Amino acid sequence: MSDRTPAGQFFDAAIGLLQRVRDEEADAITAAGTLLADTVADGGRLFAFGAGHSSLAAQDVVYRAGGLALMNLLAVPGAVGVDVMPATLGSALERVDGLAAAVLDSSPIRSGDALVIVSLSGRNALPVEMALNARALGIKVVGVTSVAYATQTTSRHVSGTYLKDHCDIVLDSKIAVGDAELTLDTVPAPFAPASTVVTSALMQAVMATAAGALADRGIEPPLLRSGNVDGGHDWNARVFDQYADRIFYRR
């Protein structure tokens, strides 16, 4: 495909970003994967949260063939993807103070667990307060965000801080402010967002690191297999039974 086509340009941009996070975030990815492995080994549970389109990367590691069975989705009704009408309601909920505390209080997450929070901008009240409140409860927090937003936008949280300021580990997606990789003279606005591609890859890299770290310690990683391969359902049933007290998406 010619690099002069918009499609080719987008692929080049996405590949460039993936190479950057692979090289520049290697240490942070290792640290995040190790943190998740430590949590599993210590009997803790794993959770992922994201609002709006950031929720896509969080959902991608939950109940996923080849993924860690212990990863649970911490969902905020109305803010998971674009599943509400109007879709703009989800964006409004991200700016509501106090919502994160209510969600955490009514969820099964507890001290000793780990929470991965995905927020491209990291500027809204919901992800900021989610990290703040989670750490206050003794939960380890990994943030997946674009650090650039902290220098080029204004925080929407009363503290003036961003998600990155309240995490044990931060993974920088390198996505430019505005999340649009292409411009054309004939198109009035930037277009072709790459945040989902890059953030999902970061999440899977962390999951792979955690699985490898567990195996290195002689602990079988609690992985799921595809239900579309022979024996997959039986394998998953065994994992579900073994870790029933740490899996919440089946209840």
Span 30-80, pLDDT tens digits? 999 999 999 999 999 999 999 989 999 999 999 999 999 999 999 888 787
Span 94-108, pLDDT tens digits? 887 888 999 999 999
75: tokens are 């969902």
Position 230: which residue type?
D
CA distance 228 to 234: 11
200: tokens are 């999902």
Quickly tell me which residue has 């430590």 as its tokens: 38
- Per-residue pLDDT averaged across 180-197, rounded? 95
Residues 135 and 113: beta-carbon distance below 8 Å: no
CA distance 19 to 17: 5
- Per-residue pLDDT averaged across 163-181, rounded? 97
Residues 52 and 81: beta-carbon distance below 8 Å: yes
CA distance 103 to 133: 10
The mean pLDDT of the chain is 94
Span 203-251, pLDDT tens digits? 999 999 999 999 999 999 999 999 999 999 999 999 999 999 999 998 7
Quickly tell me which residue has 């509501």 as its tokens: 96
CA distance 78 to 193: 23
Cβ atoms within 10 Å, residue 174: 20
CA atoms within 13 A on the CB side of 155: 18
3 state SS for the chain? CCCCCHHHHHHHHHHHHHHHHHHHCHHHHHHHHHHHHHHHHCCCCEEEEECECHHHHHHCCCCCCCCECCEEECCCCCCECCCCCCCHHHHHHCCCCCHHHHHHHCCCCCCCCEEEEECCCCCCHHHHHHHHHHHHCCCEEEEEECCCHHHHCCCCCCCCCCHHHHCCEEEECCCCCCCCCECCCCCCCCECCCHHHHHHHHHHHHHHHHHHHHHHCCCCCCECCCCCCCCHHHHHHHHHHHCHHHCCCCC
Report the chain's C-alpha Rg in angstroms. 18
pTM to 2 decimal places: 0.94
The answer to whether the Cα torsion of 172, 177, 179, 181 is positive or negative is: negative
Using 50, 70 and 90 to split pLDDT, how confident is the model at 3? low
